[in-house]
A and B are shown apart, each in its own frame.
Chain A
Amino acid sequence: MRIALLLLLTLLVPLHDARAQSWTDMTEFSGYLDSDIRFLVEDNRGATPGDGYRFDMNRNDLDLKLTIRPFDQVKAVVDSRLRFYGFNEAASLPELVKRDPIDPYSLYLDEAYLAVQGFLFDRMDLRFGRMIQTWGSADQFNPTDNLSARDLSDPFNYSAKVPNQMVELSLYPTDWLTLTGVFVPVFKPAQLPPSALMGFAVEYADNGCFAKAPVPPLSTADVGDLEKLFGAVDPCNLNFVDPEVRTLAPESTIENSQAGFKAAFQAGDLDFSLSYYYGRFAFPVAYTAVALVDPSTQNPGAFDVKYVAEVMYPRMHVAGADFSYSAPWLFDIGFVGEIAVYFPEEVVFGMRAYQQGSLVTEKSALNVPADPFIKATAGFDYTILPWWYVNFMYVRGFFDEFNDAYGVRNYGVGATELKFFEDEVVLRLAAVLAMDDLSATLNPQLTWIVLPSAEIALAGLIFLGDTEASDPLDYSAKEKFGQKAAGRSTVALRARVTW
Chain B
Amino acid sequence: MRNSLAAVLLVTMILPCRVSTAQEKLTGEQILDKLDKVVNGFDDQEMDVEMTIVDTGGSKKSYGFNIKQKGNDRRLVRFRTGEIKGMATLTEAANRAYVYLPGYKKVRRVAAHNMNQSFAGSDFSNSDMATSCWKCLYDGHLDKEDESHYFLTLTPKQGVETGYAKATMKISKKTGRQEDTDYFNASGELVKTFRTANYKTYACGVTLPSIIEMADPRSGHKTTLEVTELKVNQGFKDSMFTERELQWGK
Measuring CB to CB, which residues of chain A are less than 8 angstroms from any residue of chain B?
Answer: 30, 67, 69, 72, 75, 115, 117, 125, 132, 134, 137, 139, 159, 170, 172, 175, 178, 266, 268-269, 271, 324-328, 331-335, 381-383, 385-387, 389, 419, 421-424, 449, 451-455, 496, 498-499
How many residues of chain B get a CB closer than 8 Å to chain A's CBs?
Answer: 41
Bound CA–CA A484/B106 (angstroms):
32
> Residue on B with the closest CB to A159?
B104
Q: Quick check: is B30 within 8 A (CB to CB) of the other chain?
A: no
A422 touches B121 (CB 8 A): yes
CB neighbours (8 Å) of A383 from chain B are 113-114, 116-117
User: A-B pairs with the 4 shortest C-beta distances?
Assistant: A334-B111, A423-B121, A332-B112, A452-B82
**Cross-interface CB contact of B118 among A132, A387, A454, cutoff 8 Å:** A387
Q: Which of B55-63, B192-200, B228-236 has 4 or more CB atoms under 8 Å from chain A?
A: B55-63
**Cross-interface CB contact of B111 among A132, A332, A385, cutoff 8 Å:** A332
A72 touches B250 (CB 8 A): yes
Cβ contacts A to B, 14 pairs, < 8 Å: A30-B86, A132-B105, A134-B105, A137-B109, A172-B244, A266-B96, A326-B95, A326-B110, A326-B111, A328-B112, A332-B115, A334-B111, A386-B125, A422-B53
In the assembled complex, how far is the CB of residue B237 from the closest CB belonging to chain A, in whole angstroms? 10
Which of A75, A178, A326, A451 gathers most chain B CB within 10 Å? A326
B117 touches A452 (CB 8 A): no
CB neighbours (8 Å) of B111 from chain A are 324-327, 332-335, 381-382
CB neighbours (8 Å) of A455 from chain B are 83
**Cross-interface CB contact of B95 among A175, A269, A333, A386, cutoff 8 Å:** A269
CB neighbours (8 Å) of A139 from chain B are 108
B105 touches A453 (CB 8 A): no
In the assembled complex, how far is the CB of residue B79 from the closest CB belonging to chain A, in whole angstroms? 10
Tell me whether A334 and B110 are in contact in the complex, defined as CB-CB below 8 angstroms, given that A386-B116, A421-B55, A451-B61 are known contacts: yes
A333 touches B113 (CB 8 A): yes
B121 touches A453 (CB 8 A): no
Known: A69-B250, A419-B118, A453-B85. 15 other contacts (CB 8 A): A117-B248, A137-B108, A178-B244, A269-B96, A324-B109, A324-B111, A325-B111, A326-B113, A328-B95, A334-B109, A335-B111, A386-B116, A421-B55, A422-B122, A452-B81
Q: Quick check: is B242 within 8 A (CB to CB) of the other chain?
A: yes
Tell me whether A115 and B244 are in contact in the complex, defined as CB-CB below 8 angstroms, given that A383-B114, A423-B118, A423-B120 are known contacts: no
Q: Quick check: is B243 within 8 A (CB to CB) of the other chain?
A: yes
B242 touches A422 (CB 8 A): no
Q: Quick check: is B37 within 8 A (CB to CB) of the other chain?
A: no
In the assembled complex, how far is the CB of residue A14 from the closest CB belonging to chain B, in whole angstroms? 14
CB neighbours (8 Å) of A387 from chain B are 118
A452 touches B104 (CB 8 A): no
Bound CA–CA A164/B218 (angstroms):
53
Tell me whether A334 and B113 are in contact in the complex, defined as CB-CB below 8 angstroms, given that A170-B244, A326-B95, A328-B95 are known contacts: yes
Q: Quick check: is B173 within 8 A (CB to CB) of the other chain?
A: no
CB neighbours (8 Å) of B34 from chain A are none
A453 touches B83 (CB 8 A): yes
In the assembled complex, how far is the CB of residue B92 from the closest CB belonging to chain A, in whole angstroms? 8
| Interface of chain A, main secondary structure | strand
CB neighbours (8 Å) of B103 from chain A are 159
> Residue on A with the closest CB to B125?
A386
A452 touches B118 (CB 8 A): no
Q: Quick check: is B221 within 8 A (CB to CB) of the other chain?
A: yes
Bound CA–CA A409/B34 (angstroms):
59
CB neighbours (8 Å) of B112 from chain A are 326, 328, 332, 334
Q: From residue 215 to 250 of chain B, which have CB atoms closer than 8 A to chain A?
A: 221, 238-239, 242-244, 248-250
Bound CA–CA A7/B229 (angstroms):
35
A125 touches B244 (CB 8 A): yes
Bound CA–CA A75/B250 (angstroms):
10
> Residue on A with the closest CB to B86?
A30
B113 touches A498 (CB 8 A): no
Which of B81, B112, B238 gathers most chain A CB within 10 Å? B112
Tell me whether A175 and B242 are in contact in the complex, defined as CB-CB below 8 angstroms, given that A132-B105, A422-B122, A452-B63 are known contacts: yes
In the assembled complex, how far is the CB of residue A35 from the closest CB belonging to chain B, in whole angstroms? 15
Bound CA–CA A132/B248 (angstroms):
15
**Cross-interface CB contact of B83 among A159, A419, A454, cutoff 8 Å:** A454
CB neighbours (8 Å) of B117 from chain A are 383, 386, 389
Tell me whether A452 and B61 are in contact in the complex, defined as CB-CB below 8 angstroms, given that A422-B118, A424-B121 are known contacts: yes
CB neighbours (8 Å) of A453 from chain B are 81-83, 85
Bound CA–CA A34/B242 (angstroms):
33
Tell me whether A452 and B244 are in contact in the complex, defined as CB-CB below 8 angstroms, given that A266-B96, A334-B111 are known contacts: no
CB neighbours (8 Å) of B53 from chain A are 422
Tell me whether A382 and B113 are in contact in the complex, defined as CB-CB below 8 angstroms, given that A422-B221, A452-B61 are known contacts: yes
Bound CA–CA A387/B248 (angstroms):
30
B109 touches A271 (CB 8 A): yes
